[in-house]
Chain A
Amino acid sequence: MPASAAGFCFRLVRRQLVLGLRRPVELGNPLLFFAMVVALFPLGLGPAPDTLADFAPGILWIVALLSNLLTSDAVFRSDLEDGSLEQLLLAPQPLYFSALAYVLAHWLLTGLLLGLASPVFALMLGLAPTAIPALALSLLLGTAVLSLIGGIGGALTVGLKRGGMLISLLILPFYMPVLIFGSSAVQAALNGNPAGPYLAILGALLCISIALAPLAIAAGLRISVDT
């Protein structure tokens, strides 16, 4: 008698969250990475506040994207190594929802925290306070899309020993629309224009990704487990 799909998803999300929360340092790593790369820009571009504030929307979005990219490789890797992944594939519940549960847990542990912490980094780069709500909202929506796309890359490369570099080559092109609309939302807010349309497009991208990405993730996982 299998568990219901919804109950099983809930169980998976809870399990992944507990696993994440029991390694608080690893949870902080993406945020630390974000802070460090943000600190690189004043060193590379010079500390002039005007320059930094001009580049801030792009910088913050690119760093968020890289930080998400680096964590995507790990979504399924430990589960493949200890055999949990093959048990997950044998579960009678649809893999589509299980994949979605894994991505949701990944987003809660990375994108959500990043979105909530982003105002601090925005202030460090001198981004105008008026643009900060748009930044946080666009990051919250956008990182969810990034997690879904990153999950595809993670699923396709999890069976490979040297997946780290490859996953960037595979999924960075797919990240580009999110980057374009995410940074445009912040830019629009900065210029005093409404950010709503850009956030709406990010929302639309999120809907498409939720509908389609789990299919690709499921197919990728089946291929990766089939060795």
Chain B
Amino acid sequence: MEFLEIFLSANFWAASLRIATPLIFGTLGALICERAGVLNLGIEGIFTAGAMSGWLAVWLGAGLIGGLLVAMVVGALIGLIHGILTVPLGLSQHVSGIGVTLLATSVAYFTYRTTLPDVTSPPRIEPFRPLDIPILSDLPFIGPALFQQTFMTYLAIALVFIVGWVLARTPLGLAIRAVGDNPASVDSQGMSVYGLRIGAVMVGSSIMALGGAFLTMAAFDAFFFGMVNGRGWICIALTVFASWRPRKALLGALLFGAFEAYQVRLQTEVGSFVPGEVFLMAPYVLSIIALIVAARSADYPRALLVPWFKGQR
């Protein structure tokens, strides 16, 4: 059976991990924002801005790590806009998020075009290359499947555990979770609800921006308008699938990556009698099914989408 043989190929697992990487960043970022009670639909725009700014910074000579930092700062600044609109001003998080996506996408494109007004194809940078880890990369099967990824994939996985540890085990994590569940209790402890929420949105947004930067600095080596192609929205769904838990977010992203890697391989197997669109649709359909199963028992942050104003009951 060719259908099952696909799973025996190390390249399939490597592809799943590659495809999952931007989703891991995006879902982690969305999860941090939502844990603090703020839905961040600016994600698609933040992805685009991160993809553009990181790549542009590298092209201008900032170096790869410099590019990542620039992307993170840009993400945090966009997060600040969303934070101010939704936290102290208490505006609709949905509307503000969509607005931020539109703004960030447009500004990213505007910056791109004003910097490079007359190009026939965008300039290429030297992107992150797959790392060769001694011993691990040379293991049979496991090596090519898991240990020949770029630095950013390992960064994404490390962040899963760091974010998980901070949220679950530190006073800061407790405060973030509390502000998303019961902001009044945080306020009564003398902590700033606004500060915590805006801070969480900024940090979450900077991690989202890394997801975008992965596309232009590791998965590919140039920025194309529209290349984010809905990846941000998938992260919003994955966050619910993960019930706001970082390790489940990693699992969800990997599952989606595997669906996607599987469908491109399956398409050439049975493409002659099943229309290609069925396969392109499959990861999304499977995600929706997974979401239905997972979201029934979802434990929402109780104050998600609920603005809080000091002194108001």
Whether chain B is bound by chain A comes out as no
Chain B residues engaging chain A, CB cutoff 8 angstroms: none
A residues within 8 Å of B by Cβ? none
